[in-house]
Amino acid sequence: MMKRRLIIKLNAICNNKCKFCIYSFKAWRNFAQRDTSCIKEIMKSNLRYGIRQVIFTGGEPTLRPDLIELISYGHHELGLETHLQTNGRLLAYKSFCQDLVVAGLDYFGVAVHGHNPSLHDYLSNCTGSFQQAVSAMQNLARLRQKFITNTVITKQNYRHLSDIAKMVLCLGAQKYQFIFPHVSGEAYINRKIVLVKMKQVVPFARDALQLGIKFKRSSTIKAIPFCLLKDCDSHIRRSIYPDEKYVFFKDEADCSLWKGERCKRCSYNEKCEGVWQVYPRLFGTEEFVPVT
């Protein structure tokens, strides 16, 4: 049975400035960060709902000084499986990776948006961030830690999804995931620069997802609906985590989803969560044809 998971946003600061970030950097200034005891209480109080995994995310959670304490509390005192979603830059320091392992971190998720420095650093808006993410993965492999990677799909990288998959598999990733961007915050501000139609992405995504089968590793894709990827629907995250819900703090991001009237006729309707509301406003709805 799927373990119930709790996703906690630890902060809203970051040492990257990704062009597709779902938060607007201006709005981030108003984010009220919860203190250490409050985060511990959130973890503890959710045990009664059967939570078995906690995922720390941000912003950039490694910038939080109490991260080690929070992981240790979740893992050692509450018995939770602990996950971290990071841009990987601070994990370029092996001693920090070791501290996280000792604290009880079970899974690392590293963001990788390109297969070379120019692509990744362009999207992260930070020179050197690619090399640090690669060093992070090398450190984790040397420490025999399990890590997965997350790649946000953009106009600049969608043709290179297979190159990215090959690179992270060679570096030892257990799993890789592609994410169609949530059109909010910086992604909305930069929509003309970074956004691409889902239909254009699909052939490249399909090839890249299937590479995982060859390498005997799993691969998933998030936020592209079933009607566009029906021939590899088992890779769609919604198939794997049907109950997953996105919880955003007030005013952070527009998290509403769109489905059309004709979706009612689709055989995937019950499973499908639809697409981010803003997407049909920008690109129309003709891509989403019910599967019957």
From the list 108, 226, 276, 279, which residue makes contact with ligand SF4 (rule: CB under 6 A)?
Answer: 226
185 vs 225, which CB is nearer to ligand SF4?
225
Site for ligand SF4, residues 8 to 67, rule: CB under 6 A: none
Q: Is 227 in the site for ligand SF4 (CB under 6 A)?
A: yes
Backbone angles phi, psi at 173, to 5 degrees: -60, 140
CA 262 vs. chain centroid, Å, equals 29
- The stretch among 85-93, 142-150, 171-179, 283-291 that binds ligand SF4 (CB under 6 A) is 283-291
Instruction: Collapse the DSSP code of 232 into the 3-class scheme (helix H, G, I; strand E, B; otherwise coil) and give the result.
Output: helix
Residue from 70, 169, 272, 278 that binds ligand SF4 (CB under 6 A)? 272
Q: Which stretch binds ligand SF4 (CB under 6 A): 13-21, 112-120, 161-169, 220-228?
A: 220-228
Nearer to ligand SF4, 159 or 262 (CB): 262
Closer CB to ligand SF4, 83 or 259, in the complex: 259
Please give the sequence-ordered ranges of beta strands (E in DSSP) within the chain, or none if there are none. 4-9, 51-57, 81-86, 107-111, 147-152, 175-179, 218-222, 257-258, 275-276
Residues 174-203 that bind ligand SF4 (CB under 6 A): none
Q: Exactly one of 117, 172, 274, 280 binds ligand SF4 (CB under 6 A); which one? A: 274
Nearer to ligand SF4, 72 or 220 (CB): 220
Yes or no: say if 176 and 148 are a contact pair by the CB < 8 Å rule.
yes
Burial pattern 148-181, b for ≥16 Cβ within 10 A else e, equals: bbbbbbbbbbbebbbbbbbbbbebbbebbbbbbb
CB 48 within 8 A of CB 94: no
Q: How far apart are CA 274 and CA 269, in angstroms?
A: 8
| Contact pattern from residue 250 through residue 269 relative to ligand SF4, giving x for each residue in contact according to CB under 6 A and a dash for the rest | ---------x---x--x-xx
Closest CA to 171 of 119, 82, 110, 236: 110
Q: To which residue do tokens 């025999």 refer?
A: 144
**Of 174-182, 224-232, 234-242, 247-255, which part binds ligand SF4 (CB under 6 A)?**
224-232
DSSP labels, 204-226: HHHHHHHHHHHTT-EEEEESS-G
User: What is the contact surface with ligand SF4 in residues (CB under 6 A)?
Assistant: 225-227, 259, 263, 266, 268-269, 272, 274, 288, 290-291
